[in-house]
Structure 1
Amino acid sequence: MKKNANEKIMMLQYRIKRYQAMGNGAMCQTLNGKLQKLLSQQVAM
């Protein structure tokens, strides 16, 4: 389970960087929200 969550976090971080490079701020905000949610779940476990 933990490995899968780490992979999701890495993928979200990668996608955020890609959207930032393209200048798509709205999508960056959406993905950042998902990333924060995942990270908070990690801490709660």
Structure 2
Amino acid sequence: MKKNANEIFMLQYRIKRYQAMGNGTMCQALNGKLQKLLAKQSITM
């Protein structure tokens, strides 16, 4: 559980950084990973 939370926070941080740089492609890829992780986490709870 703790590992997933760290991974979620790290993905959110990276998404914000790529948004600031204007890299939309990478941002979308990371958002996809984040959504999959969040969906998996909500199922296990």
TM-score by length of 1: 0.97
What residue in structure 2 maps to residue 34 of structure 1?
Answer: 33
4+ runs of 1 displaced by more than 4 Å? none
- CA RMSD in angstroms comes to 0.2
Residue identity (%): 68
Number of aligned residue pairs:
44
Question: Take 1:20 and 1:5, find their aligned partners in 2: how far apart are those partners?
Answer: 22
Deviations, residues 9-38 of structure 1 (Å, cap 9, x unaligned): 000000000000000000000000000000
